[in-house]
């Protein structure tokens, strides 16, 4: 079975479903609907049975009108069409185009990141290098080049190299290369703790005072006190998502849409958010659907405007502007509520929260130094049992254990 799909830009792809339920996508490029349907019909006639065909046959060399030249090459890579003499191995540029164009399941921001990685790869290796010629030594050199010549941080270089691993892992799956040259590459951490910043409530209230309109204040409050992603979650909020009776609102996240939750979660209307919800409701038009009326703006443009207002007020913006607002809010929530509750409201997992979000704050240091973080009812430390006795402890009689504990306790008091 072969199905056609197209994105908003008119770029088509053909999806082949095999008898075992697995699927294969073949990018067709920008075509008219008629041209795409002609190609689909052709593919169903020639490879619908799943048999490997020969390029020397008339059927496989006579492509329908409008079919791009790259389709036959993609079929060769997928072993759906057999090359005349030897199997064709794609160049790096060809494989990257095929892989990225075929990932219609990823978000636009992820596709932008893929393109950045692609530019780095082609600048280092060149577009004509075959993917089977890349060696593990080349992978190490590429990682080093990213940091030295390109001047990227360890975290950013690690991020791009991990994307290359995915690109070439797909080539291994298609049996184009025997192994992934980036698989054994030892990378540093893909996070940068130095760019984490805890935005205090005093700083947040200062920002709220200098923002010119109630809507901009609401946007900032949703990020700082609601932990929403901006703009993807903020601009999707609708008035029908607000449950005034139960003091909560529904958030729809395109980033987590592919998970079990479907990207939908409910967040309390925290006391810090309630005045902003009420102010926005009073100013909303009667037939308004969306709460925020700034659709189509990118993360960078939202952050750019608020940074501009901060600079006008003489305030230095913090790094990773919206990320650190979410990080700050999850850190606050994790101190008051169980971590799984904080993650449910923020929209991530415990692993992601621990790796990218949770911070150690100055207030926590102060509480620990003042002793307010220590449980006064904590039990006294147990006496130390020698290692050679501890190994046999489960098999010792009860009276022997009591005698050992008494002696160990007495010894600990003598040492004090």
CATH label of the domain that carries residue 263: 1.10.443.10
Residue 159 lies in a domain: yes
Residues 122 and 84 in one domain: no
Residue 373 lies in a domain: no
Pair (261, 293) in one structural domain = yes
Domain around 143: 94-190
Dist. CA 404–CA 134, nearest whole Å: 64
Instruction: Give the bridge partners for 344, in sequence order.
Output: none
392 in any annotated domain: yes
185 with 320, same domain: the answer is no
Asked whether residue 264 is domain-assigned, the answer is yes
Verify that 314 and 236 share a domain, yes or no.
yes
372 domain residue, yes or no: no
Same domain, 164 and 124: yes
Q: 59 near 46, Cβ under 8 Å?
A: yes
Q: Please state, as a whole number, how many other Cβ atoms lie within 10 Å of the Cβ of residue 18.
A: 10
* Domain co-membership, 214 together with 339: yes
Map tokens 């008051």 to a residue: 336
**Res. 160 pLDDT band, cuts 50 70 90:** very high
Q: For residue 286, is it within any domain?
A: yes
Report whether pLDDT(268) > 80: yes
- Higher-pLDDT residue of 41 and 87 is 41
Segment 196-225 shows an average pLDDT of 92
- Lowest-pLDDT range of 104-108, 236-240, 276-280, 371-375: 371-375
Rounded CA separation 145/142 (Å): 5
Whether 104 is covered by a domain: the verdict is yes
Question: Same domain for 312 and 406?
Answer: no
- Among 190, 209, 238, the domain-final residue is 190
The residues, any chain, with a CB within 8 Å of residue 24's CB and separated by 6 or more, are 15, 16, 18, 78, 80
Helix (H) or strand (E) holding 98: helix 92-102
**What's the domain count of the chain?**
4
Beta bridge partners of 5: 13
- Of all residues in the chain, the percent with pLDDT exceeding 70 is 77
Whether 378 has a pLDDT exceeding 90, the answer reads no
In this structure, are 258 and 326 located in the same domain? yes
Give the global pTM. Answer: 0.58
* pLDDT value at 412 more than 60: no
Contact 147, 154 (CB under 8 A): yes
């Amino acid at each position: 079975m072969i199905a056609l799909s197209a994105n908003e830009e008119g770029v088509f792809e053909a999806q082949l479903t095999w008898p075992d339920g697995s699927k294969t996508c073949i990018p067709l490029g920008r075509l008219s609907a008629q041209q795409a349907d002609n190609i689909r019909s052709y593919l169903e006639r020639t490879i619908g049975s799943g048999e490997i065909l020969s390029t020397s046959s008339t059927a496989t060399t006579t492509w329908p009108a409008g079919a791009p030249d790259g389709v036959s090459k993609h079929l060769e890579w997928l072993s759906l069409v057999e090359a005349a003499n030897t199997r064709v191995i794609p160049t790096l540029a060809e494989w990257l185009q095929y892989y990225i164009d075929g990932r219609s399941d990823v978000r636009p921001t992820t596709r932008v990141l893929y393109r950045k990685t692609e530019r780095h790869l082609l600048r280092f290796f060149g577009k004509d290098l075959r993917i089977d010629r890349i060696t593990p030594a080349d992978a190490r050199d590429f990682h080093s080049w990213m940091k030295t010549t390109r001047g990227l941080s360890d975290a950013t270089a690690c991020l791009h190299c991990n994307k290359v691993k995915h690109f070439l892992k797909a080539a291994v799956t298609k049996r184009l290369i025997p192994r992934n040259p980036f698989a054994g590459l030892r990378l540093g951490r893909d996070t940068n703790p130095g760019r984490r910043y805890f935005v205090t409530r005093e700083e947040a209230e200062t920002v709220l005072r200098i923002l010119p309109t109630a809507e901009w204040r609401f946007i900032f409050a949703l990020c700082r006190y609601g932990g929403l992603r901006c703009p993807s979650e903020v601009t999707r909020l609708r008035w029908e998502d607000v449950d005034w009776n139960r003091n909560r609102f529904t958030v729809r996240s395109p980033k987590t849409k592919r998970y079990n939750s479907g990207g939908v979660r409910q967040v309390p209307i925290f006391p810090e958010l309630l005045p902003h919800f009420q102010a926005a409701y009073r100013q909303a038009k009667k037939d308004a659907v969306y709460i925020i009326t700034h659709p189509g703006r990118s993360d960078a443009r939202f952050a750019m405007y608020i940074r501009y207002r901060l600079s006008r007020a003489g305030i230095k913006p913090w790094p990773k502007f919206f990320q650190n607002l979410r990080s700050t809010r999850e850190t606050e929530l994790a101190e008051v509520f169980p971590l799984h509750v904080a993650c449910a409201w923020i929209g991530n997992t415990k692993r992601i929260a621990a790796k990218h979000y949770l911070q150690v704050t100055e207030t926590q240091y102060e509480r620990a130094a003042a002793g307010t973080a220590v449980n006064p009812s904590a039990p006294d430390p147990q006496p130390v049992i020698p290692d050679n006795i501890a190994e046999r402890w489960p098999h010792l009689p009860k009276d022997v254990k009591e005698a050992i504990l008494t002696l160990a306790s007495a010894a600990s008091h003598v040492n004090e």
